Amino acid sequence: MLVVATGAALLFLVLPVVAIFARVPPDELLAALGTDAAKDALLVTAETNLISMILILLFGTPAAYWIATRTSRLRDAVVTLVELPLVLPPAVAGIGLLAAFGRLGLLGGTMDTLGIDIAFTQVAVILAVTFVASPFYLRTAVAAYEGIDPTLPAAARTLGAGPGRVFARIAIPLAGAGLGAGAALAFARGIGEFGATIMFAGSLQGTTQTLSLAIYEQFDLSFVVALAISAVLVAISGTVLLSVKLLTRWRSGSTTPIPFAPTTPTSG
């Protein structure tokens, strides 16, 4: 009974993925990737996700450490704010970004004064990707920092190391595998972002149209191209998932694929 249930579940989950590659011959899929729509979407996705990941790592790495080293109540309150984008419907995230950074948004007047128009530009794509992907990195990074033996940073401080040096020389190396896993998860989420992007940035080929948006458009224009782009995203997602498992297993020496934060923070 258990084997049958497991087999049915795996078949249901794997069949749609296999169908993407089986529906069209490989040579046609490769040819479809050479179309302007596919190449433009791949370029826009690569550029926007690269910038987004730089921002996430640059700001998220120290932010996660600060959160992990706070008292319980403050830490829980901040983590709740960090996790909120994870449960927001994509359309709500897009509307929120538009209401904040659009021409008529909260910062719209300031943007107009500076001559900056963010909505429906590539900057909007970067902001949308960063908004939806950064919680994956932050949450995993907080868990990685909290998994560090607290005696190690404490020993460094007793030897005269300041907070900045403890963070750079102790915390980051010890949490490195967890940080890498979080970055991989954030990258995977950013690559597949759709809802917030189409609401805030639109779907302009060569400007704001990412791979996910290109699939949506090509579904009506060329199903083969849509399948080809889907196959690229499947390959990227599979690679990211495997990387996360290898990184976290190397970090913990266990079979747990994703690190979770302990119930109680390790320091106040």
Residue 172 forms part of a structural domain:
yes
Question: At which residue do the structure tokens 């917030």 appear?
Answer: 196
pLDDT tens figures, 30-58: 888 888 989 999 999 999 999 999 999 99
pLDDT value of position 193: 92
Query: Residue 77 sits in which domain range?
Result: 31-252
Write down the residue that tokens 């089986």 correspond to. 22
pLDDT tens profile 140-156: 999 999 988 888 888 88
- Comparing 105 with 9, the larger pLDDT belongs to 9
Q: What is the pLDDT of residue 109?
A: 66
Q: Would you say residue 20 lies in a domain?
A: no
Contact 187, 83 (CB under 8 A): no
CATH of the domain at 58: 1.10.3720.10
Q: What is the pLDDT of residue 215?
A: 93
Domain count, the chain: 1
Please tell me the least confidently modeled range out of 102-116, 149-163, 177-191: 102-116
- On whether residue 88 sits in a domain, the answer given is yes
Contact between 208 and 122 (Cβ < 8 Å): yes
Q: Which of 18-22, 32-36, 162-166, 196-200 has the highest mean pLDDT?
A: 196-200
pLDDT-derived band of residue 191, with 50, 70 and 90 as boundaries?
Answer: very high
- The answer to whether position 101 is within a domain reads yes
Average pLDDT over residues 181-192: 91
H-type alpha helices, the chain: 2-22, 26-32, 36-68, 72-87, 90-101, 108-113, 122-146, 151-158, 163-166, 172-174, 176-191, 195-200, 211-221, 223-252
Is 43 within the bounds of a domain?
Answer: yes
Give pLDDT, residue 264. 46
Q: Environment class of residue 24 by beta-carbon count within 10 Å: exposed (0-12), middle (13-18) or buried (19+)?
A: middle
Average pLDDT over all residues of the chain:
86
DSSP string covering 225-236: HHHHHHHHHHHH
What span, in angstroms and rounded, lies between the C-alpha atoms of 158 and 137? 30
On whether residue 267 sits in a domain, the answer given is: no
Measured between alpha carbons, how far is 203 from 100 in angstroms, rounded to an integer? Answer: 20
- Give the residue from 128, 139, 137 showing the smallest Cα distance to 51: 128
User: What pLDDT sits at residue 261?
Assistant: 44
Domain-embedded: residue 257: no
Question: What predicted TM-score, i.e. pTM, was given to this entire model?
Answer: 0.85
